[in-house]
């Protein structure tokens, strides 16, 4: 099984906000990441948060980290059709490994 868990699907109307949730298990993770994958492509780093932070905002993206509950979320404001993709949450393990969640498929409907 995976150490990082996230919901598999999210459908959102264009213009609304999307919230993708993730839980992880390694309390010693130093960085947590959100990656975006479009069909047939590699992973694009969207944003990351250092474990001593509880929030990070970058344009339309807001990351919230609840370290006590080991819960990470990604909010996408004003979701657009180009945001349709698979979003992966990942935690750093030890010095360099990444452990990924199964990915959340976000579908933006008009």
Minimum distance between the CB of residue 102 and another protein, rounded to whole angstroms?
A: 5
CA distances, 6 to each of 15, 59, 103, 110 (Å)? 23, 23, 7, 24
Distance CA(93)–CA(26), nearest Å, equals 7
Bridge partner list, 64: 55, 73
* Residue 22 within binding range of another protein, rule CB under 8 A: no
Choose the binding region for another protein from 16-24, 26-34, 54-62, 70-78 (rule: CB under 8 A).
26-34
Residue of 2, 16, 54, 78 interacting with another protein (CB under 8 A): 2
Region 68-107 residues binding another protein, contact defined as CB under 8 A:
88, 92, 96-98, 100-103
Minimum distance between the CB of residue 48 and another protein, rounded to whole angstroms?
A: 6
């Amino acid at each position: 099984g995976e150490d990082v868990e996230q919901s598999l699907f999210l459908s959102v109307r264009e213009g609304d906000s999307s919230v993708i949730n993730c839980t992880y298990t390694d309390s010693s993770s130093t960085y947590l990441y959100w990656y975006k994958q479009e069909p047939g492509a590699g992973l694009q780093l969207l944003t990351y948060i250092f474990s001593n932070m509880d929030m990070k905002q970058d344009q339309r993206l807001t990351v919230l980290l609840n370290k006590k509950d080991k819960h990470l979320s990604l909010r996408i404001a004003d979701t657009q059709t180009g945001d349709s993709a698979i979003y992966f949450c990942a935690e750093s393990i030890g010095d360099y490994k990444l452990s990924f969640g199964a990915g959340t498929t976000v579908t933006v409907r008009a």
